[in-house]
Structure 1
């Protein structure tokens, strides 16, 4: 049988290029979602959704109810995008700062989902236990973050990356082993598939085609990196 074309590859490329805010969040979301038991009627919090392309993937491909929460993108702007796609009944846009708590009832969500955002607020021991309170017992947590494929030699930034490295990346870019060790400390979580994602290179290649000025700035960084250091880390777990 022929292998079906990924949902992302069949999507309107111009739309995706205009709405990316980093490595292609729809592509990353599609790979990570394949590890979750998503089905119509489930309630999903897409935390740090950006311009909503991960939320669109979840709603259109899996038929779930999505709460698209972001700190930087105005919910009115995301609402217009969702309405234009006929998804206003499936996706609820919200303004949320995860560091200040979530405006939901405990146990409200079947799945907490996050693509390319958790590294900004989740590198401490308190964030995951706090977020788990909003997931139903038996529900799932799935996070994808940019990271490192291995610890930097001697803990030093390699010379080829120094022109692009900013201090906050020391905290945000971590290895799979580092993230796994952090999540293993959370009470009430059974770890699921924690892995380096297959779509790393394609997700970055998609982003580097974007007209976004930040994408243009990332081109020389990725040329210098040359596939030696970066990773996409997937973390999945189930609330028990």
Structure 2
């Protein structure tokens, strides 16, 4: 990590630059004993170009922060390897989450000459307008946060009915409401198969029970899926099922 001694009088330059800028600014000077000391302030530097590169690559012995009465802040350091120039960057508004900066481009800092009057003109004509625009966009994001993403709609409930070769119909329910509808329309709970079954001895009766169960399920927004039998023998349990509904169902409650 290069450790370039910076002989410039940054403290005096910061004060002079603050006096030259339009509005009311004051300068706060900081001296750093160690490399890590530069980051608590540097982390707020709103730059992805010259200034951030200097902060990352050079051990900065000193910096200055210029603060305007409304809270706007500018970060000032000597430009490495350019003895007659300084770097000035905006500092991002503090205390905001990443969503506040959504879609906002960083108002990258600029190099200015070692002349406070000329430097103030460059900051006023170039950096500050971009800073004000970016800050306004951040405030807009704060005032108009993006809506929270909608949760995916829950999968609609379905009762799966499977026909078997001997005419037996087996139904898998996913809720007590579905179990009740099946039970009330002729289906019988078979604990060994974990399914409601309806024999095919009387096909007309079986068809009527299926229609009436389907209509009752539809009133509760529960669909019905009809399937052919699985290739293996017997009924296949794919998921734990609710207990069968009682013969006389209890009243619904909310």
- Shared fold by TM > 0.5? no
How does the TM-score come out when normalised to structure 1?
Answer: 0.20
Could you tell me the TM-score, scaled by structure 2's length?
A: 0.20
| Structure number with larger C-alpha Rg | 2
